[in-house]
Chain A
Amino acid sequence: MTNTKIVSPKQDLIFMAILSVVVLTMPIWLQPFGAAYPDLMQKFMIFGIFAIGYNILFGLTGYLSFGHAAFLGVGSYTAVWSFKLLSMNVIPALIFGTALSGLFALAIGFVSLRRSGIYFSILTLAFAQMSYNLAYSVLTPITNGETGLQLTQGDARVLDRMAGIEADASLPTPNLFGIEGIGYSGFYICAALLLISFFIYLRIFRSPFGLKLRAIKSNQNRMGYTGFSTRPYLMTAFVISGMYAGLAGSLLAVTDPLAGAERMQWTASGEVVLITILGGVGTLIGPLLGAGIIKYFENIFSAFNETVLLNAFSFLPDWLAHPVAAVVGLFVGEGWHLTLGLVFMLIVIFLPGGIMEGISRLARLITNRNKAEPKSGAHENKEKEQASAGEV
C-alpha cells in the first residue's frame, strides 16, 4: 500500500530528479498531444501547486475543505495589488500573495477547525462564498467588483519608479528581473516554483509531522489519548495548504495580471477537490496527475464547437450527422463539465482511490502474472520498477 513503507532520503532525491526532468522537458514531450504551448503548461503547473497544497490538508488529515478557492482569490488580488503599488517584479507579488493567504487561512481555520467532518466542510464553504460575495460587492474599492482588478498606466509601482523603470506606452508585464512572466520563460518560472513546492510537500509527507497528520486522519480519538493536541496540527496543515493556494493564485496573476471574483466561487473550490480525488487522495503525485488531466481535457473539449463536430461526423449521411453532432455537442465546448461529471462519477464508483489506485492495481496485475511465469532476470527488474511505481 502507499505511504506505509519507509523511503530512504536517497530514493526521494532520485524521485525529485526524475520529476524535475519530466516537468522541465514538458515543452518537448507534450508536443504530440498538442499541449506544448506555454499558457496551458503554466496552468498545469499552477493547478499542480494548488492541488498538492490541498492534498496536505485533505489527503493527510482527511479534512475536506470546500473553500480553498478563497485563498486562490486572495493570492491573485494581493499579487495584482503588488504589481500596481510596488513593482512588476514577481517576487514581492508571490511573497505577499502567499503570506496574506496564510493569514487568511489562519483566521478561517481558527473558526472552521472547531468542527470536523461535514460541519467543517460547510463552514469552509460558507466562508469562501462570503469572500466571493464580498469581493463582488462590498469590497469593490479593493477588488474592482464585477470588472475585476487590472493594471493601468497610472499605477504607482513605487519600487519600479525608484529603480528608474518607467512603463512605456503599453501596459507592463510581470517579470522576474527582466524575464517575462508570460510565454516559455513564464512556464519555467512556474515550473521552478512547482518543483520547489513539491520538494517541501514531499518533506512534509515524509516527516514525523506528516505521520502525525495521517494518524489524525486514521483515528483522531486515539491521537488525543496518545498525548497530542490535534487542533494545532490541523491548524498548521490548514495554513500550509492555504499558502499553497495563495501561491497558485499569485502565479495566476503573474501569467495574466487580472483578478476577478469568480476565482473564489464555489465551483473553483470544487474543482480542486475533483482534481485531488481524480488523481488519488493522499497519494504523492496523484494530485499532480489529476491537475494535468483535468486541465488538458478542459482545454481540448472546450475548444470543440458545432462546426468542428459537423466536420468530424461528415462521414455520416447528412440526416444522421446533425443529430449526432447535437448530442455530442452537449458534452463538449461549454458543456464540457458534463463530461467531467461523468468521468468523476465513474472514478468515484469504480476507482475510489483515483488514477493512482488504477496504476497500482495494474502494476499488481502485471507483477502477479510475472510471478506465475518462470522467473528470469528481466522479469525481476520489471517487478522492482513496478513496486517502486506503486509506492509513489
Chain B
Amino acid sequence: MIVVGGGVIGLGIAWRAAGAGVHVVVVDPQPGRGSSWAAAGMLAPVTEVHYGEVPLLRLNIASLQRYGAFVGDLEAASDVAVGYRRCGTLLVARDRDDDAALAETLAFQQRLGLSVTRLRAREVQELEPALVPSVRSGILIEGDHQVDNRSVVAALTAACLKGGVVFEKHSAVRVEADQGAVSGVRLSDGRVVPAGQVVIAAGARSSEIAGAADLPVRPVKGQLLHLRTRDGRAPVTRNVRGLDVYMVPRPDGRLVVGATVEEQGFDATVTAGAVHDLLRAAYELVPGISEMELVEIAVGHRPGTPDNAPLLGPTSIQGLIAATGHYRNGISLLPVTVDAIVGLLTTGEVVDEIIPFSPLRFSPVEQPL
C-alpha cells in the first residue's frame, strides 16, 4: 500500500501498518516538514472547545485517552523520546471582558460534563507566577497536555525505517485507477508505484492530487514563534492560553507562541504583523518574555475543511482512503486516526468512531426520483 504524505498522520499509519505486516511506501518530497513540523504540540481539545464542534471534541478526547499508550509504543519502537508531558493547560482572562468570555466557555464545558476548574485571580497567580499580576481569572484544564511534535516526527520516521517502510521523496501527482479501483500513484518523476490501497494523508496538499476524490481541504496559514530563555527554564510550567494566543513551554526552555489563522492560500511569508501581534498578546500575559531570545518563526498550512473536522475513511474510489483535513488537531488526533485507518486497511472495517467524519459527508445527497 501507499501513504501519500509523510506528516505525523501518514507516518503513524505507515509505521503501524508495516507492523501489521503490510508493505508500505510513503510518498512525500519532504517527510515531516509540513504542518506537523510547524505545529506547537498542544493537546488541548477541552481548552479550545467550540460551539457546534462537539463530535470533534469527542474524537479528540478518545484520541487523548490513547496518547500515553501510543507514545509508549512509539518510544519503544524508535528509541526516540517524544516529550509527552501531562502538564495540564491554564486558560486565562486578562480583564473583565475576557472573564465574561471565560464564564461562557466554562458554562459550555460544564454542560458537556468536561473536567474543568474555575480559578480566582490569586489562584491563577499561584499556579503560574510569571503571569501578569492583573490577570482576572482562569480555568484549569488538567487533562489537556502537550507533546513535542518535532520529536514525534523524528520518532515516527525512525520507527518507519526500522519497520521497513520505503520512502519515495517525490510529490504524488495523480492517483491512478482502473475501473473505479485504485491501481497506484504517479510520482512527480513520472514513475508509477503500483498499489491496491492508497491513503491520502497529504494535509493541506490533499486536494492538489489528481484523481484523489476531490477532498475538500484548503490551506489555513499559521505563524508561530519559538522563544528561549538563557537558563533553559521556560517562564511557565504548563500550557497557557489567552483568548488571542497560546504558549507551550518545552523542557529545554523553549516557549512556543502561536498562532495566526490566515486564509492566505499557500503563502509562506513571515509577516511583521504576525510577529507583532503574537508577541504583544504573549507579552500582555507574560511580561517576562521580553527577555527571551526569538529563535525561530515557523510557518505552516493547516489542512482546513468546511466543518473544521477531519476526513477519515473510505472515499468514492475503491481502495482510496482519506486520513486528512485535521485542521488544528493533527497532533492530538494522531492515535485515534492511526488506529482507525490501520484497522480499516487490515480488516476492512470502519469503526463507529470515525463514521461522523466520513469524507463523503459533504457530497450532495442523491435525491430519489
Q: Do A and B bind each other?
A: no
Q: List chain A positions with a Cβ less than 8 A from chain B.
A: none
Chain B residues proximal to chain A, CB less than 8 Å: none
